[in-house]
Amino acid sequence: MSASTTADLILASTSRYRAELLRRLRVPFIQRAPDVDESRQSAEAPQDLALRLAAEKAFAIARGAPGHWVIGSDQVCVLGDAVLGKPGTHAAAVQQLQRLSGCRAVFHTAVCVIAPDGSEQLRNCPTEVQFRHLSPAEIETYLRLDKPYDCAASARSESLGPALLQSMRSDDPTALIGLPLIAVCDMLRASGFDVLARAARSA
């Protein structure tokens, strides 16, 4: 479903992955870029960082879009006490996957929905991921094929990323990709946006 100028649903993100997920719901939406500083605050817990940024992104757009539902989301990967962000470069991605090899990481995917009446819903959907023991050759092959340099923890779960994993646990299967659709549908429905009814009208 392409974006529509008459859509009253806004995705507060420039992420193509989140946009691709939201299109699965078959409702028109607009995609807008929030201007938010994503720096971690001193002593801020990773899940709190994800929740705060999801809310800040949603509110940054909602303030200028009265009468709309706005979805904001953010994802933070945690390995032990370390937060792993988007690597940006091949060398940084190699280092991240070397650290993740044989380890369990938690991806905190937070989502915020703001309704036209200004009410806010905020939820975190964690995913526990166990990485296999990865050889240097496997890491190089994966990075060459998938190029996940814009993905947290250097793994693209909607593509070849599962080849790196031993297991994963989550209550929301699309959370790891970047937008937990079960939570989004539930939050939208609670705020008066019936996804199924709107999808039927848009068909």
- As annotated, the active-site residues are 74
Asked if residues 172 and 182 have their Cβ atoms less than 8 Å apart, the reply is yes
3 state DSSP class of 47: helix
Detail the DSSP E strand segments found in the chain.
Answer: 9-12, 30-32, 69-79, 82-84, 104-114, 120-131, 165-169
Tell me how crowded residue 35 is: count the other CB atoms within 10 A of its CB. Answer: 8
DSSP letter assigned to residue 153: G
What's the confidence (pLDDT) of residue 12? 97
Residue with tokens 């997920």: 21
Each domain of the chain, given as residue ranges in start order, spans 9-202
Integer Cα distance of 78 and 84 in angstroms: 6
Residue with tokens 């992104």: 57
Q: Residue 147's closest CA among 77, 94, 71?
A: 94
Segments in the chain below pLDDT 50: 1-5
Q: Residue 82's closest CA among 72, 95, 70?
A: 95
CATH class of 9-202: alpha beta
**Torsion over CA: 154, 127, 177, 159 (sign):** positive
What's the confidence (pLDDT) of residue 202? 86
pLDDT per position as a tens digit, 40-65? 888 899 999 999 999 999 999 999 99
3 state DSSP class of 203: coil
What's the confidence (pLDDT) of residue 65? 95
Integer Cα distance of 59 and 181 in angstroms: 20
Q: Mean pLDDT across the chain, nearest whole number?
A: 93
Residue with tokens 């807008």: 32
